[in-house]
Amino acid sequence: MKKVLIANRGEIAVRIIRACRELGIETVAVFSEADRQALHVRLADDAYLLGPAPSRESYLRADKILDICRKAEADAIHPGYGFLAEREDFAAHCAEAGIKFIGPKPSSIAAMGDKMTARETVRKAGVPVVPGTEDVGNMPDEELLTIAPKIGFPLLIKATAGGGGKGMREVRSLEEMPELLKSARREAESAFGDGNVYLEKLVEGARHIEIQIIADEHGNVVHLNERECSIQRRHQKLIEEAPSPFLDDELRARMGAVAVKAAQSVDYINAGTIEFLVDKDKNFYFLEMNTRLQVEHPVTEMITGIDLVKEQIRISRGRTLSFKQEDVKINGAAIECRVNAEDPFNGFMPSTGRIAHSLMPTGPGVRVDTGVYPGFEITPYYDPMISKLIVWDETRAAAILRMRRALEEYRIIGVKTNIPFHQMMMDSHRFMGGQYDTRFVEERFSIQENEEATSAYSEIAAIMATLVSHQSTQRAAQFVKRNERDASNWKWVGRWERMHR
């Protein structure tokens, strides 16, 4: 593998380019008209224009991406997350074109993409699922209404093609069910072109805990422990941490072993995630599998010391995993805050505009994965995440203090961000105590504007704006030369060694 095309944008494209560069692999970026100035385009060895800003006309154009791949003579495609990452037809087209898709087989993507098939497949492999409808197939409303009382209320109607909560309905009684079936099917039909639904008993007040797994082409499947992802709003995760403050070593090992079984049930290869619901009594149930690298993968990297992207590339080269299950140890604690361009004081409304000035936190135990820089414009075309702030420390408490420090250092001028939300969360006693579930942000956590602080902040903001505009008139430029590639690096080392003989 000499050259990899990255079929993505933003921080994840940058993350993948960095791994390739460290491995001495050349990179090809693709970009939309809105991303001409993007960081991933600047960092890649080569870059090709896909088309207009909307995703359908750019990052979702599988045909164009495959053409570019052939033209650029790239031998592999890394899809990142979102866009084409979980499209089985795209993975299949790559294979047909003789291009390595850095991810699972099309058949694994398909088996997990259909949520009812996924549920049945893992259930038959001995993975616990929430009680609900069994076997796959398109059940008519009459049949679902007959089964519902046997499952018991409250229950959930879920879309087969679902994920992300679309087409999901809570049902409290049989009387209200026909109407809810109709609206769930309607929503699923318009979102996925598939109105098929199934039923599950509602698990109330559960946590969302997921297990990272990784598998090579030689039958080795290893789990890398859990990430706690319960801090979310409207199915958008906001904070992830590892290890989960809710799990003990015994439960962690059991969930890990079950996750491995779930992955094996679809012949899984490469990095993937098994999502579980964990209830108050520590019962856990399979929810779904994400057949891709995830946004929150860095928290796992921080506690295990494993570079997931490099490991994905290693697997795609046909090598065995670089570690065994017994080599995987949890070291310390990591937390990730997703920094989004949105206004937390105004219903998390998206905020767009040019980043006039920014200062990213650095220092011990701090990692920032971002695709933006001062001068870059945040447009409404893509998701609003502008960076991931990840901290590591030896204990969870120290990691929270470090995250507070890092959030304080973070400066961004030009767009509003959800940093104040994260600061309030780091100050919340419930978060500190690890006492939260998936309803926490929407039901218990209220975000209030502090009048006094706000007026002081607007004065500071005015002073900073003046400073930024002053600075921009007296910029200095410096160029950093790129290192030569491997071959000449070796020659250089040889010369150096001869000199010192």
* Catalytic residue annotation: 292
CB of 429 to ligand MV4, least distance (A): 22
Residue 165 found at the interface with ligand MV4 (CB under 6 A): yes
Residue 438 found at the interface with ligand MV4 (CB under 6 A): yes
CB of 87 to ligand MV4, least distance (A): 19
CB of 416 to ligand MV4, least distance (A): 25
Alpha-carbon span 309 to 37, nearest angstrom: 24
Residues with Cβ within 8 Å of 122's Cβ and at least 6 positions away in sequence, in order, are: 129, 261, 262, 265, 286, 289
Task: End-to-end CA distance of the chain: give it in Å, rounded.
Answer: 35
Judged by CB under 6 A, the number of residues near ligand MV4 is 16
* Contact residue for ligand MV4 among 212, 232, 304, 312 (CB under 6 A): 232
Alpha-carbon span 200 to 476, nearest angstrom: 61
19 or 156: CB nearest ligand MV4 = 156
Residue 403 found at the interface with ligand MV4 (CB under 6 A): no
Tokens coding 315: 């697997």
CB of 156 to ligand MV4, least distance (A): 5
Alpha-carbon span 110 to 137, nearest angstrom: 15
Helix, strand, coil fractions of the chain, as percent rounded to 5: 40, 25, 40
Strands 3-6 and 76-78 turn out to be: parallel
3-state secondary structure 232-258: EECCEEEEEEECCCCCCHHHHHHHHHH
DSSP string, 284-315: EEEEEEE-S--TTHHHHHHHH---HHHHHHHH
CB of 350 to ligand MV4, least distance (A): 21
Residue 129 found at the interface with ligand MV4 (CB under 6 A): no
Alpha-carbon span 200 to 438, nearest angstrom: 17
CB of 489 to ligand MV4, least distance (A): 46
* Contact residue for ligand MV4 among 130, 171, 259, 341 (CB under 6 A): 130
Alpha-carbon span 472 to 360, nearest angstrom: 18
320 or 435: CB nearest ligand MV4 = 435
89 or 204: CB nearest ligand MV4 = 204
Candidates 22-30, 203-211, 293-301, 456-464 — which segment interacts with ligand MV4 by CB under 6 A? 203-211
Q: How far is CA 166 from CA 156, 158, 183, 186, in A?
A: 12, 8, 11, 11
Alpha-carbon span 262 to 274, nearest angstrom: 8
Residue 209 found at the interface with ligand MV4 (CB under 6 A): no
Alpha-carbon span 432 to 399, nearest angstrom: 11
Residue 295 found at the interface with ligand MV4 (CB under 6 A): no
Residue 277 found at the interface with ligand MV4 (CB under 6 A): yes
User: Across the strands, what pairs with 412?
Assistant: 358
Candidates 51-59, 200-208, 252-260, 462-470 — which segment interacts with ligand MV4 by CB under 6 A? 200-208
* Contact residue for ligand MV4 among 11, 26, 120, 200 (CB under 6 A): 200
Run of H or E including 464? helix 451-472
Candidates 50-58, 194-202, 248-256, 376-384 — which segment interacts with ligand MV4 by CB under 6 A? 194-202
Residues with Cβ within 8 Å of 342's Cβ and at least 6 positions away in sequence, in order, are: 348, 349, 350, 351, 384, 416, 417, 418
Residue 203 found at the interface with ligand MV4 (CB under 6 A): yes
Instruction: State the binding string over 313-342 for ligand MV4 (x if CB under 6 A, else -).
Output: ------------------------------
Candidates 72-80, 198-206, 374-382, 401-409 — which segment interacts with ligand MV4 by CB under 6 A? 198-206
Q: What angle is formed at CA 310 by the lines to CA 272 and CA 227, rounded to 5 degrees?
A: 40
**Widest Cα–Cα separation across the chain:** 88
Residue 208 found at the interface with ligand MV4 (CB under 6 A): yes
Residue 210 found at the interface with ligand MV4 (CB under 6 A): no
Residue 202 found at the interface with ligand MV4 (CB under 6 A): yes
Residue 296 found at the interface with ligand MV4 (CB under 6 A): no
Residue 288 found at the interface with ligand MV4 (CB under 6 A): yes
Residue 127 found at the interface with ligand MV4 (CB under 6 A): no
Residue 149 found at the interface with ligand MV4 (CB under 6 A): no
Strands 169-171 and 155-159 turn out to be: antiparallel
Candidates 57-65, 196-204, 460-468, 483-491 — which segment interacts with ligand MV4 by CB under 6 A? 196-204
Q: Which of 53, 50, 60, 72 has the alpha carbon at shortest distance from 4?
A: 72
Candidates 119-127, 202-210, 386-394, 397-405 — which segment interacts with ligand MV4 by CB under 6 A? 202-210
Binding site for ligand MV4 (CB under 6 A): 130, 156, 163, 165, 200-203, 206, 208, 232, 235, 277, 287-288, 438
